[in-house]
Amino acid sequence: MKFCSECAHPVELLVPEGDNRPRYVCAQCATIHYQNPKMVIGSIPIWEEAGEVAVLLCRRAIEPRYGKWTLPGGFMENNETTWAAAIRETQEESGADVELRTLFALLNVPQVHQVHMFYLARLKNLDFCAGEESLEVRLFNHADIPWDELAFPTIRKTLKFFFEDYAKVQAGDGDYGFHTHDIIKRQNRPDF
Ligand code: ZN
């Protein structure tokens, strides 16, 4: 941040009185610009047929990670619930109509100031098509998941959690759980 969003004066990074960490502060109007993590909300749209499960993935038509595969998801908007965000992002990116089930995964990505959340979702039909932010949308069963071509570590982790739980459900050995994970940046790795 370089300029105050209230008065357009340049901001300074300093620890305000009574605070314990640096904030962008406007020297002109004294506004303190707090910055907090953003929520990324998505779904895991599944289709079950003949004893097999398939997951809907979208190939990104935008940076970052152009051309890589992701679950449908995106930034939550103001005046929106997480539930509505999951349905909207799924519809926008994949054209898919889903019935949301439970909240399945919550992943902290502190280095990029984000929290990612994914809901389990059932595809109502197979009438999906790539939205403006997707090059292609298709169903993958477990054996075909493009693990090396996934866009983000949170997608990989969420899919791993999903297929582990799916195997348990199929074996009559449990139900879908709620999973949390922290993606911590390792040194010398270009991505998070
Ligand atoms: Zn200002």
What is the rounded CA–CA span in Å between residue 99 and residue 46? 10
70 pLDDT more than 60: yes
Q: Tell me how far the alpha carbon of residue 6 lies from the centroid of ligand 1, in angstroms.
A: 5
Q: How many residues does the chain have?
A: 192
110 pLDDT more than 60: yes
Condensed to tens digits (0 to 9), the pLDDT of residues 135-186 reads 999 999 999 999 999 999 999 999 999 999 999 999 999 999 999 999 998 7
User: What is the rounded average pLDDT for all residues in the chain?
Assistant: 95
What is the reported pTM?
0.91
CATH number given to 1-35: 2.20.70.10
For residue 127, give the 3-state DSSP assignment.
Answer: coil
Q: Tell me how far the alpha carbon of residue 12 lies from the centroid of ligand 1, in angstroms.
A: 10
| Residue 130 contacts residue 94 (beta carbons within 8 Å) | yes
Taking alpha carbons only, the member of 70, 100, 68, 104 closest to residue 86 is 100
Q: Tell me how far the alpha carbon of residue 37 lies from the centroid of ligand 1, in angstroms.
A: 22
Q: Tell me how far the alpha carbon of residue 23 lies from the centroid of ligand 1, in angstroms.
A: 13
- Matching residue, tokens 């739980």: 165
Residue 191's pLDDT band (boundaries 50, 70, 90)?
Answer: low
Give the pLDDT of residue 190: 52
Condensed to tens digits (0 to 9), the pLDDT of residues 73-98 reads 999 999 999 999 999 999 999 999 99
For residue 50, give the 3-state DSSP assignment.
Answer: coil
Residue 45's pLDDT band (boundaries 50, 70, 90)?
Answer: very high
| Residue 95 contacts residue 130 (beta carbons within 8 Å) | yes
Q: Tell me how far the alpha carbon of residue 14 lies from the centroid of ligand 1, in angstroms.
A: 14
Q: Tell me how far the alpha carbon of residue 21 lies from the centroid of ligand 1, in angstroms.
A: 19
39 pLDDT more than 60: yes
What is the rounded CA–CA span in Å between residue 171 and residue 74? 33
Q: Tell me how far the alpha carbon of residue 17 lies from the centroid of ligand 1, in angstroms.
A: 17
Domain ranges in the chain with CATH number 3.90.79.10: 38-182
Between the CA of residue 50 and those of 42, 53, 61, 81, 187, what are the distances in Å? 26, 8, 32, 34, 45
What is the rounded CA–CA span in Å between residue 9 and residue 29? 8
Q: Tell me how far the alpha carbon of residue 3 lies from the centroid of ligand 1, in angstroms.
A: 8
Task: Give the residue-averaged pLDDT of 3-31.
Answer: 96
13 pLDDT more than 80: yes
Give the pLDDT of residue 41: 98
Domain ranges in the chain with CATH number 2.20.70.10: 1-35
Q: Tell me how far the alpha carbon of residue 11 lies from the centroid of ligand 1, in angstroms.
A: 7
CATH number given to 38-182: 3.90.79.10
Give the pLDDT of residue 192: 44
Q: Tell me how far the alpha carbon of residue 20 lies from the centroid of ligand 1, in angstroms.
A: 21
For residue 72, what are the contacts with CB-CB under 8 A and spacing of at least 6? 42, 43, 45, 56, 58, 89, 90, 92, 93, 94, 96
Q: Tell me how far the alpha carbon of residue 110 lies from the centroid of ligand 1, in angstroms.
A: 28
DSSP state of 52: E
Give the pLDDT of residue 3: 97
* Tokens standing for residue 46: 């599944």
